[in-house]
């Protein structure tokens, strides 16, 4: 359970009900300790919140003494969450509930626009299975498709982390077929996931996950000095260079997000903008090798 939530003074009953439903729906359990940690509130208040929720939605939760937690019933119907995987992933990644209630009159008086990218289809049933496998450190069997193999293929994986690359979410997991840690796009899982036994392959053994790699970028040298200075100011470069440190397995994704080509330069330097200075250092982490 994340520790960085909002204080009791700033939270609302609706937000506390949101967290109850979010955990029950996606993680399969919720207890007073979860609310206590997230909202920095007392155990008494947290228990009262769950009881209040149960009074309003009596058919959604039941207490399981063996788990020491409330579990969702088969009749569970969400009322305060959208039941969208993106909503859970947003909370999982940021530690924040939906930002819909954080708007202020001042913020609304300013014109702004947020680019809305199309949401990718992620099965809630598959998502819950993956979350359970991660939380319990278990292997999971599930079908997967890809552009290289569009036919469904059974995979046994041991997932350990979700990753947001900017354009999509993927899962970092040990793959028993390839015998290595791989990235799996969440929207490409198919079928009904089946939990298996405990795994020995966790994030601790993932070399690509635990290796820090520094990417050094600079303005395309074909640009004029004035144009290079524009980019240096844009990215707050020091001595004409931008140093970005990331996980080895995320190097390619970061370069894509920065629109830095590593295969060949764009014919127009204004389109290329940035180039990688230490390509030899990062080459082992590029998909094309």
Tokens of 170: 């993927």
CA–CA separation, 60 vs 70, rounded Å? 10
pTM: 0.82
CA–CA separation, 224 vs 108, rounded Å? 41
Grade residue 93 by pLDDT with cuts at 50, 70 and 90.
confident
Task: With H, G, I as helix, E, B as strand and everything else as coil, classify residue 287.
Answer: coil
Domain ranges of the chain: 13-81, 124-205, 211-285
The average confidence (pLDDT) of the chain is 90
Q: Which one-letter DSSP state was computed for residue 152? A: -
In this predicted structure, the answer to whether residue 140 has a pLDDT above a threshold of 90 is yes
The confidence score (pLDDT) of residue 114 equals 74
End-to-end CA distance of the chain: 38
pLDDT in tens, 161-174: 999 998 899 999 99
Q: Which one-letter DSSP state was computed for residue 244? A: E
Which residues are within 8 A (CB) of 9 and not within 5 positions of it... i.e. 6 or more apart? none
Task: Say yes or no: do domains 13-81 and 124-205 share a fold.
Answer: no
In this predicted structure, the answer to whether residue 94 has a pLDDT above a threshold of 90 is no
The confidence score (pLDDT) of residue 237 equals 97
Q: Three-state secondary structure along 128-144?
A: HHHHHHHHHCEEEEEEE
Tokens of 110: 């300013």
Selected from 1.10.150, 2.40.10, 2.30.30, 1.10.10, the CATH number assigned to the domain covering 124-205 reads: 2.30.30
Selected from 3.55.50, 1.10.10, 3.40.50, 3.30.70, the CATH number assigned to the domain covering 13-81 reads: 1.10.10
Q: What would the DSSP string read from start to end of 70-137?
A: EEE-TT---SSS---HHHHHHHHHHS---GGGG--HHHHTS------PPPPP--HHHHHHHHHHHHHT
In this predicted structure, the answer to whether residue 287 has a pLDDT above a threshold of 90 is no
pLDDT in tens, 190-238: 999 999 999 999 999 999 999 999 999 999 999 999 999 999 999 999 9
Please state the φ and ψ torsions of residue 231, each to the nearest 5 degrees.
-70, -35
Grade residue 115 by pLDDT with cuts at 50, 70 and 90.
confident
């Amino acid at each position: 359970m994340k520790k960085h939530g909002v204080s009791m003074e700033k939270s609302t009953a609706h937000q506390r009900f949101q967290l109850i439903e979010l955990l029950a729906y996606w993680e399969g359990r919720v207890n007073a300790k979860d609310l206590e940690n997230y909202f920095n509130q007392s155990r008494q208040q947290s228990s009262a919140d769950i009881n209040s929720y149960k009074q309003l939605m009596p058919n959604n939760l039941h207490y399981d003494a063996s788990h020491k937690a409330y579990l969702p019933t088969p009749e569970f119907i969400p009322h305060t969450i959208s039941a969208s995987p993106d909503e859970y992933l947003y909370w999982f990644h940021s530690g924040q509930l939906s930002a819909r209630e954080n708007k202020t009159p001042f913020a609304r008086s300013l014109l702004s626009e947020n680019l809305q990218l199309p949401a990718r289809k992620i099965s809630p049933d598959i998502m819950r299975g993956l979350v359970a496998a991660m939380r319990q450190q278990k292997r999971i069997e599930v079908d997967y498709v890809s552009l290289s193999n569009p036919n469904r293929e059974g995979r046994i994986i041991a997932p350990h982390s979700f990753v947001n690359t900017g354009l999509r979410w993927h899962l970092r997991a040990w793959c028993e077929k390839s015998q290595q840690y791989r990235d799996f796009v969440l929207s490409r899982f198919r079928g009904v996931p089946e939990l298996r036994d405990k795994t020995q392959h966790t994030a601790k053994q993932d070399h690509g996950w635990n290796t820090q790699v520094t990417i050094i970028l600079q303005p395309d040298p074909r640009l004029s000095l004035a144009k290079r200075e524009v980019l240096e100011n844009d990215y707050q470069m020091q001595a004409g260079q931008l140093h970005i440190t990331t996980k080895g397995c995320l190097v390619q994704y970061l370069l894509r997000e920065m629109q830095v080509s590593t295969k060949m330069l764009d014919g127009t330097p204004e389109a290329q903008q940035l180039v990688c200075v230490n390509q030899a250092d990062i080459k082992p982490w590029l998909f094309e090798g």
